[in-house]
Amino acid sequence: MDPLSQTEAASSLTDGQEAAGSANSANGHANGANGANGANGANGTNGSNGSANGKANGANGANGSPPNGHGSSSVIQQRVDSDFRNVLGKGLSVCRRNILTAGIFSFFVNVLLLAMPIYLFQLSDRVYTSRSTDTLIMLSLVVGGAIVAHVFLDMIRRFILMRVAVETEAKLGAPVLSAAAKASQNGSNREFQLLGDLQHLRHFITGPVILLMMDVPVAPVYLAATFLIHPDLGWIVGGTGLILFIIAVANQKLTAVPYTQANTFAMRANLAADAMARNSQVINAMGMIPEGVQIWGRETASSLKAHLAAQDRNIYMTGLSKLVRLFTQVAILGWGARLALSDQITGGMVIAASIIGSRALSPIEGTIEGWRSFIQARAAYARIKTLLENSPLNWERLRLPRPQGRVTVERILYVPPPTKKVILNGISFELEPGESLAIVGASGSGKSTLARMLVGSIIPTAGNVRLDRMDLRNWDPRQFGQSVGYLPQDVQLFPASIKANIARMREDVTDDMIFDAAELADVHEMISHFAHGYETQVLIDGSPLSGGQKQRIGLARAFFGDPRLVVLDEPNSNLDAPGELALANALSRAKRRNITVIAITQRPALLQSADKIMVIKEGTAQAIGKRDDIIPLLAANGAAKGAPAAPGSGTFQ
Ligand SMILES: Nc1ncnc2c1ncn2[C@@H]1O[C@H](COP(=O)(O)OP(=O)(O)O)[C@@H](O)[C@H]1O
Ligand SMILES: [Mg+2]
């Protein structure tokens, strides 16, 4: 056993207990909103799960310690990155070595088991004939010692595997979650399912199948032993092994498709249930529960049906292989008796051969039965490997000086793959640090898409978005994230206190920084009206905050940490008059602090605070220029359509 690995695994477990919950900051690393979902997924109920979170902290151990300001965050970042890049190679090398050790132990575990049949054979052929008690005592002592050694080694290999399992999940948990969060920025959150894959891997390593697989290398030794007893018996055992193998392959072929179908449908049923959870208000308000249940039920029924079909076939094939195995026992005993009658072998040898034969076959049979879970574990590992290796988080990036906030957008084109629809086309503009731009345009004209592109959440098909002349793709994601603020159109808060939400779930922050952001966004007064003030807990559905309140907390979150570029997507869509006033105040404060602000709006009120205005229509910039040049254009445009768009009221058409 490798004592080192034990201590390591144990220490990552304790890390997890000490600093549980700071996994969030590891996720913040990649993509805020999605990170939280993933963290929920990781917070299972059993012990080893805790260790996955544990490693999230283990990877950036400094997080667990008291706040030590900005200096430590870059250290944390580097440690996460280097963990991330090395985790599959160096990180898991201990695990690989330990699995090998367990394999070597398995060999001896099995060889020691030969003591039993040898004992039997010696008893019947030597002790009974010689009637020597001394021999009996000697033999018993030897076999007793072998059994103790067997049990002891068996325990050790299980201990090792258990630790390998925990270690694997602990090592991979944080990187997988980070990579999943990063991958999900392209709109899919399928990657979060990979946390399930990780659990699958752990279950496999701690399960019975891997032990049986480790027993397989000894099967040839057993087979050789039966050949030594008598070649005929060896052929019987060898032949049975071959038949069992053929049955198993047939079983795989017959059940692969229905099992895959069952899994696919089960996954879809889960997604349907998730969607119901997310839309619980709507479902209840409009009496949609039966429909929701029906959709879920359809997927579940299909899954169960496929599962049943697979299981039926599996039972047939397992029955067949059991039949073959039992008949082999009879064949060995029967043929052995015949050989014994013709004095070729002794009675003790027959019994020994029967035991050894079944020992040779049982790991083969077990492996075959468990082959599916091996395949699944292997596929799970392959998916994790692909995710980690292809993740953009792997690219090493230079940490640049803190940006000033110069934004350059060069002829961006956005055509998302499946639809081939051009959503943004040839938009270019440049903003100096501290300049503000308002983007106006009808609904569906591509404003939100542009906003997501400006914060690097989606990548343009062609063209570039640059911050301080550096393409967004080349920024270190964590550094970039800390330099920008983003308020999405559909504000979602994390289930945590208002304070934690404003602080972007970071723990290494001072109350001053939170207060500063709240002041800048002009939400301090609103927050102080809550009974628990900054400690008010926001629930998963956003209660007890109203839509407008959520939007204003989101605004403070966007301004947290003195960002250099802030992108606000319709920040006033849910605001009342005082809210709008607060927003205007926030924008003028941001200007004083030289923060570059890009605000999207459907309402003209915001325009007065902007230096520049861009009018966007069907993905192209119709007009862009100084505020005072564009406002008359907008007004004329509105008047021509008979809907005057005087600043301060109305909506753009
Ligand atoms: N991922 C996507 N795939 C395909 N179409 C999209 C995607 N995202 C947005 N769109 C389409 O792009 C257009 C612009 O959307 P959006 O930027 O949300 O508009 P706005 O914010 O101006 O109301 C819409 O027609 C929308 O259907
Ligand atoms: Mg929008």
Residue pLDDT, tens place only, 8-54: 433 443 333 333 333 333 333 333 333 333 333 333 333 333 333 33
Name the band, by pLDDT with cuts 50, 70 and 90, for residue 454. Answer: very high
The ligand 1 atom at the shortest distance from the C-alpha of residue 451 is 17
Assess whether pLDDT exceeds 60 at residue 567.
yes
Residue 438, φ and ψ in degrees, nearest 5: -105, 135
The ligand 1 atom at the shortest distance from the C-alpha of residue 458 is 1
| 184-193, 263-272, 305-314: segment of lowest average pLDDT | 184-193
Assess whether pLDDT exceeds 50 at residue 407.
yes
347, 340 in Cβ contact below 8 A?
Answer: yes
- Predicted confidence (pLDDT) per residue in 167-183, tens digit: 888 888 888 888 888 88
Assess whether pLDDT exceeds 90 at residue 299.
yes
Average pLDDT score over residue span 604-629 = 87
b/e code 156-186 from CB counts within 10 Å (16+ = b): ebeebbbbbbbbbbbbbbbbbbbbbbbbbbe
- Predicted confidence (pLDDT) per residue in 478-511, tens digit: 888 899 999 998 888 999 999 999 999 998 889 9
What is the Cα 572 distance to its own chain's centre? 35
Name the band, by pLDDT with cuts 50, 70 and 90, for residue 7. Answer: very low
318 CA from centroid of ligand 1 (Å):
53
Helices 347-390 and 194-206, interaxial angle, to 10°?
A: 160
3-state SS record for 432-452: CCCCEEEEECCCCCCHHHHHH
530 CA from centroid of ligand 2 (Å):
30
217, 103 in Cβ contact below 8 A?
Answer: yes
Residue 601, φ and ψ in degrees, nearest 5: -150, 155
- Predicted confidence (pLDDT) per residue in 304-314, tens digit: 999 999 999 98
Protein residue whose Cα sits closest to atom 25 of ligand 1? 444
More confidently predicted of 62 and 610 = 610
Supply the pLDDT for residue 99. 87
d(CA 140, CA 146): 10
Greatest alpha-carbon span in the chain: 119
The number of beta carbons lying within 10 Å of the beta carbon of residue 525 is 11
CATH code, residues 407-640: 3.40.50.300
d(CA 489, CA 340): 86
Supply the pLDDT for residue 437. 93
3-state SS record for 327-376: HHHHHHHHHHHHHHHCCCCCHHHHHHHHHHHHHHHHHHHHHHHHHHHHHH
449 CA from centroid of ligand 2 (Å):
7
Assess whether pLDDT exceeds 90 at residue 413.
yes
Q: Say which ligand is closest to the CA of 445.
A: 1
645 lines ligand 1 (CB under 6 A): no
611, 437 in Cβ contact below 8 A?
Answer: yes
The ranges of the chain annotated as CATH 3.40.50.300 are 407-640
340 CA from centroid of ligand 2 (Å):
88
Supply the pLDDT for residue 55. 37
Would you say the pTM of this structure is higher than 0.85? no
Supply the pLDDT for residue 85. 60
Element of type H or E holding 616 = strand 612-617
425 lines ligand 1 (CB under 6 A): no
549: its two tokens = 């309140």
d(CA 601, CA 599): 6
452 lines ligand 1 (CB under 6 A): no
Supply the pLDDT for residue 638. 62
Average pLDDT, the chain: 80
Q: Say which ligand is closest to the CA of 443.
A: 1
499 lines ligand 1 (CB under 6 A): no
d(CA 45, CA 57): 18
Assess whether pLDDT exceeds 60 at residue 367.
yes
41 lines ligand 1 (CB under 6 A): no
| 23-27, 361-365, 405-409: segment of lowest average pLDDT | 23-27
Protein residue whose Cα sits closest to atom 24 of ligand 1? 444
Counting ligand 1 atoms within 8 A of each CB, the residue from 412, 421, 423 with the most, and so the one to mutate, is 423
d(CA 301, CA 232): 51
What is the Cα 187 distance to its own chain's centre? 15
More confidently predicted of 164 and 21 = 164
Radius of gyration of the chain (CA): 33
